[in-house]
């Protein structure tokens, strides 16, 4: 089948690939026409590549030419968001039009998806097995738009997280919010990524020991800038434990200049700045000026309003040469979870600045809006109280306490997304995207992307297609293993989170010696943590065995078809190269993650049982022998690289699984107690 692609740029036939690859020479903020041409040309090359792989004979130019199918790419047409598109049938083919360059790219990816192409992960894509006999073109115009139009992406932990494969996978699946990465920034811009930088930035800016030009420290010159609490004396050692004073005009001016300086220097490429205040978990300034502003959220909105005013003034004075969005977090750690008691400042209503709502201790056993869940009730009430400012929602599918465990959230994801959209949420992010060894979590990343596009996605059909794409003949077994993994994940936040009530926190508080009090359990356990944990171990173990059986079947299929054809080897060493099968590799990855998850859960439950045995003066030697054996096993296994989240250090680690379990220190405390008992 002959396909001809039409672009609105003279000399397309000769320069298409040059334009598609010239992103490193383009200033995407100022050279709008070149930026558009680059992205649209790249979209055309994606069509050329994939349609060619589907058996089409593809050509391209700036003019309509006779062909079986004509594909017209028309940027600058229509109204609405820059990333929206319209795919419409024409007399001789299809027309993909959009107001902006990103709409064209997303329109092209939607059109390719209609032909049966799916991008499952950064390393795995699915194409139809047979050449196309004809292109699928919708009878009625098909709109491409996103329910989460404010932004769709991830909170990236660690400066080394960078991958052109990942950026491309994100774009092909409609995700557009990422961290700026200098080595691939031009490629990210071509794909329409919006850069988000910043975070809890003021601990560094207001470091009490920071030296000023006078030679004195911030604390020595301005201790009144730090938060005041009536019952506590201001002291340098605890200066960052209370939120800074947001009513102090001198401090606000200082911070406005600091923010401007950072935007013009370190964060120059950022489109959005996370302006998150001290992560104090509850203490805010109680001076008279701050109290007059309202509750803690009102205080922070007042501060954000001042920052917006300062940046707007800098734009007028040509001290800032581009617009940037400010992002405030609504979060317990900054005492800003509750909505403001007063009106949102007028300049924030007009600015495009927004909040990201982070319910860090939310429950995943229940959906966010489930009336039966006391754990989520306060979060739900607070979210519904926010008005007059755009809202992005921050999920915790891979928060640091999860330590890359094989947790699945398919039970709650769609209902949660539908609820968020219903109450006015228009953007999504989550902490923190794993870069390696997705394993069973691959379904989380892909479903997340689908729901950001359409909260009413047919999830049942999506999952059926996912299992067929990723596992082929082993799809049925994989689906069963995933279901077991999902069941094992239900109490994930009760087992480990940043809550002091979760089981991990309770165990880490234990000194390892004979307890005198009952081990407290998070309320969702209802006193049955051991039983629930043993069920999870059983589910994960069964999932491991299902995957192992499926892998054996696949391997047998693979080796029956495998052959070594010496006659075709250009280099004799080629015949010795390892033969690979993607489906087997997927199951290997799944099994590694499931075994790690099972063993960490088993160690956790063993510690609970050991705690109870010591407290009740029961025989504990057998339990300790099991703990010792499992700790040794975990210490000999490794998990993927861990990216260190630091503004000053660029580094990563590869921790063993005992370290990743966060139970190593407890193991040694318990061991110390046993050694001491033997010596007495």
Among 363, 364, 373, residue whose Cα is nearest residue 408:
364
Per-residue pLDDT tens over the stretch 532-582: 999 999 999 999 999 999 999 999 999 888 865 555 555 655 554 456 899
Residue 248 lies in a domain: yes
Do 535 and 587 have their domain in common? yes
Taking 3-state DSSP, the helix, strand and coil percentages for the chain, each rounded to the nearest 5, stand at 50, 15, 40
Q: What's the whole-number mean pLDDT along residues 171-200?
A: 96
Q: Which residue intervals of 279-373 are DSSP H helices?
A: 288-293, 296-316, 346-351
Do 399 and 284 have their domain in common? yes
Do 59 and 170 have their domain in common? no
pLDDT band of residue 283 (cuts 50, 70, 90) is confident
Mean confidence (pLDDT) of the chain: 95
Do 287 and 209 have their domain in common? yes
Among 352, 244, 327, 338, residue whose Cα is nearest residue 297:
338
Q: What's the whole-number mean pLDDT along residues 423-451?
A: 96
Do 590 and 549 have their domain in common? yes
Residue 661 lies in a domain: no
Q: Above 60 in pLDDT, residue 170?
A: yes
Do 21 and 100 have their domain in common? yes
Domain hosting 93: range is 2-144
∠ CA 491-494-495, nearest 5°, is 85
Residue 528 lies in a domain: yes
Do 100 and 165 have their domain in common? no
Q: What's the whole-number mean pLDDT along residues 253-260?
A: 98
CB 45 within 8 A of CB 17: yes
Q: Which residue intervals of 319-412 are DSSP H helices?
A: 346-351, 374-385
Do 450 and 594 have their domain in common? no
Residue 652 lies in a domain: no
Q: Above 70 in pLDDT, residue 608?
A: yes
With a pLDDT cut of 70, the percent of the chain lying above it is 97
Do 125 and 258 have their domain in common? no
Look at residues 438, 457, 476 and tell me which one is the last residue of a structural domain: 457
Residue 473 lies in a domain: no
pLDDT band of residue 649 (cuts 50, 70, 90) is confident
- Specify the CATH number for the domain of residue 288: 3.20.20
Do 202 and 343 have their domain in common? yes
Among 637, 644, 643, 645, residue whose Cα is nearest residue 661:
637
Q: What are phi and psi of 51, to 5 degrees?
A: -65, -35
Q: Which two tokens stand for residue 535?
A: 């069920």
pTM for the whole structure: 0.96
How far is Cα 399 from Cα 287, in angstroms, rounded to an integer? 34
Look at residues 144, 160, 189 and tell me which one is the last residue of a structural domain: 144
Q: What's the whole-number mean pLDDT along residues 154-181?
A: 94
Instruction: Assign 24 to helix, strand or coil.
Output: helix
Residue 617 lies in a domain: yes
Per-residue pLDDT tens over the stretch 29-76: 999 999 999 999 999 999 999 999 999 999 999 999 989 999 999 999
Kindly give, in sequence order, each residue whose CB lies less than 8 Å from that of residue 577, ignoring residues fewer than 6 positions away: none
Residue 669 lies in a domain: no
Q: What's the whole-number mean pLDDT along residues 578-597?
A: 92
Per-residue pLDDT tens over the stretch 454-471: 999 999 999 999 999 999
Look at residues 631, 647, 662 and tell me which one is the last residue of a structural domain: 631
Q: What are phi and psi of 354, to 5 degrees?
A: -150, 175
3-state secondary structure 589-647: HHHHHHHHHHHHHHHHHHHHHHHHHHHCCCCCHHHHHHHHHHHHHHHCCECCCEECCCC
How far is Cα 210 from Cα 240, in angstroms, rounded to an integer? 13
Count of the separate structural domains present in the chain = 3
Residue 670 lies in a domain: no
Window from 56-70, 351-365, 385-399, 574-588 with minimum mean pLDDT: 574-588
How far is Cα 263 from Cα 312, in angstroms, rounded to an integer? 13
Q: Above 50 in pLDDT, residue 345?
A: yes
Do 452 and 424 have their domain in common? yes
Instruction: Assign 258 to helix, strand or coil.
Output: helix
What pLDDT score does 576 carry? 47
Do 282 and 371 have their domain in common? yes
């Amino acid at each position: 089948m002959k396909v001809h692609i039409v672009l609105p740029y003279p000399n397309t036939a000769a320069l298409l690939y040059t334009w598609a690859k010239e992103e490193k020479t383009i200033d995407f903020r100022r050279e709008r026409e070149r930026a558009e041409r680059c992205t649209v040309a790249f979209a055309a090359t994606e069509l050329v590549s994939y349609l060619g792989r589907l058996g089409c004979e593809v050509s391209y130019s700036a003019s309509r030419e006779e062909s079986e199918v004509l594909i017209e790419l028309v940027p600058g047409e229509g109204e609405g968001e820059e990333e929206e598109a319209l795919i419409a049938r024409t007399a001789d083919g299809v027309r993909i039009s959009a107001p902006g360059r990103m709409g064209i790219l997303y329109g092209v990816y939607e059109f390719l998806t209609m032909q049966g192409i799916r991008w499952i992960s950064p390393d795995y894509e699915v194409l139809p097995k047979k050449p196309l006999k004809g292109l699928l073109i919708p009878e009625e115009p098909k709109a491409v738009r996103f329910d989460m139009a404010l932004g769709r992406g991830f909170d990236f932990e660690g400066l080394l997280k960078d991958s052109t494969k990942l950026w491309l996978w994100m774009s092909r699946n409609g995700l557009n919010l990422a961290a700026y990465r200098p080595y691939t920034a031009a490629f990210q811009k071509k794909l329409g990524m919006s850069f988000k930088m910043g975070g809890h930035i003021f601990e560094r800016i207001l470091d009490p020991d920071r030296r000023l030009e006078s030679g004195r420290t911030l604390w020595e010159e301005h201790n009144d800038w730090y938060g005041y609490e009536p019952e506590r004396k201001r002291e340098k050692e605890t200066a960052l434990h209370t939120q800074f004073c947001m009513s102090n005009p001198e401090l606000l001016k200082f911070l406005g200049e600091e923010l401007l300086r950072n935007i013009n220097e370190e964060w120059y490429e950022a489109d959005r700045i996370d302006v998150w205040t001290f992560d104090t978990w509850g203490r805010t300034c109680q001076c008279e000026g701050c109290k007059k502003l309202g509750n803690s959220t009102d205080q922070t909105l007042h501060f954000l309003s001042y920052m917006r005013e300062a940046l707007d003034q800098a734009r007028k004075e040509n001290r800032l040469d581009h617009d940037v969005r400010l992002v405030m977090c609504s979060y317990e750690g900054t005492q800003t979870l509750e909505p403001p008691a007063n009106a949102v400042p007028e300049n924030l209503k007009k600015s495009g600045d927004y909040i990201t709502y982070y319910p860090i201790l939310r429950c995943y056993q229940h959906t966010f809006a489930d009336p039966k869940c006391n754990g989520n009730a306060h979060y739900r009430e607070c979210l519904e109280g926010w008005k007059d400012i755009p809202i992005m929602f921050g999920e915790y599918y891979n928060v640091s306490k999860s330590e890359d465990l094989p947790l699945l959230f398919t039970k709650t994801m769609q209902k949660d997304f539908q609820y968020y959209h219903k109450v006015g949420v228009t953007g999504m992010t989550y902490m923190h995207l794993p870069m390696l060894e997705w394993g069973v979590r691959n379904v989380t990343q892909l479903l997340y992307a689908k729901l950001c596009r359409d909260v009413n996605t047919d999830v049942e059909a999506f999952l059926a297609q996912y299992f067929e794409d990723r596992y082929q003949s082993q799809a049925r077994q994989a689906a069963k293993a995933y279901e077991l993994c999902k069941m094992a994940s239900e109490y994930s936040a009760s087992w480990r989170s940043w809550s002091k009530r979760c089981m991990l926190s309770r165990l880490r508080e234990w000194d390892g010696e004979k307890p005198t009090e009952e081990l407290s359990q998070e309320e969702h356990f209802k006193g049955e943590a051991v039983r629930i944990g043993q069920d999870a171990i059983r589910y994960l173990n069964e999932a491991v065995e299902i995957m192992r059986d499926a892998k054996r079947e696949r391997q047998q299929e693979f080796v029956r078809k495998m052959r070594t054809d010496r006659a075709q080897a250009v280099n004799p060493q080629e015949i010795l190269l390892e033969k690979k099968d993607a489906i087997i590799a997927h199951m290997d990855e799944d099994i590694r993650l499931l075994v790690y998850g099972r063993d960490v859960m088993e160690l956790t439950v063993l510690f609970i049982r050991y705690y109870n045995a010591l407290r009740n003066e029961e025989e504990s030697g057998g339990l300790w022998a099991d703990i010792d054996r499992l700790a040794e096993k975990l210490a000999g296994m490794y998990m993927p690289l861990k990216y260190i989240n630091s503004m000053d250090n660029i580094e990563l680690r590869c921790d063993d699984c005992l370290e990743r379990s966060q139970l190593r220190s407890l193991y040694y405390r318990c061991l110390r107690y046993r050694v001491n008992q033997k010596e007495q």
